[in-house]
Amino acid sequence: MDAWLFRPPVLVGERIVWLGSGSGLPQCGIVRWIGRLPEMGPDWTVGMELDNPLPYGGIDGTWGNRHLFTCEPKHGLLVPMSKTIKESELLKLSKENLGGVEECKKMSSI
């Protein structure tokens, strides 16, 4: 059962970060499609247009015989929504954590 009360955690057009990259590096991009693909499992899937092309793989917005969204070749990716976070939320968390680090540095110098 979906835990959404009013809307999905991300919307088409929002900037997101995919945290499940096999390279260990997050991939940033824009949500271009949201839906369910039975062959990907029961969870919601996000079609994202990546800022940078993938060296291997990636799509142009087409999955199987279905055109889901449009982007340059190797700039598209379909990922589980549960493995994404809004870019703004990630930046906010980073700033909070960095602020905490700065506070720790100040305290250790006393």
Does residue 95 fall inside a structural domain?
Answer: yes
Nearest-angstrom CA–CA distance, 106 and 74: 45
User: Residue 98: which domain range?
Assistant: 15-108
Residue 70 in any domain: the answer is: yes
Judge whether 6 lies within some domain.
Answer: no
What does the pLDDT read at residue 107?
34
**CATH code of the domain covering residue 32:** 2.30.30.190
Q: What is the pLDDT along the chain (110 residues), one digit of tens a residue?
A: 456 666 778 899 999 999 876 666 788 999 999 999 998 888 899 999 999 998 888 999 999 999 999 999 999 999 999 889 999 888 888 776 655 444 333 433 43
The pLDDT, as a whole number, for residue 25 is: 76
Q: Provide the number of structural domains found in the chain.
A: 1
DSSP helix/strand/coil, 79:
strand
Asked whether residue 3 is assigned to any structural domain, the reply reads: no
pLDDT, residue 94, reads 73
- As a whole number of angstroms, the distance between CA 42 and CA 54 comes to 26
Q: Is 34 inside any structural domain?
A: yes
pLDDT of residue 110: 38
What is the phi/psi pair of residue 60, to 5°? -105, 20
Q: Is position 9 within any domain?
A: no
Q: What pLDDT does 108 receive?
A: 34
Domain contains 4: no
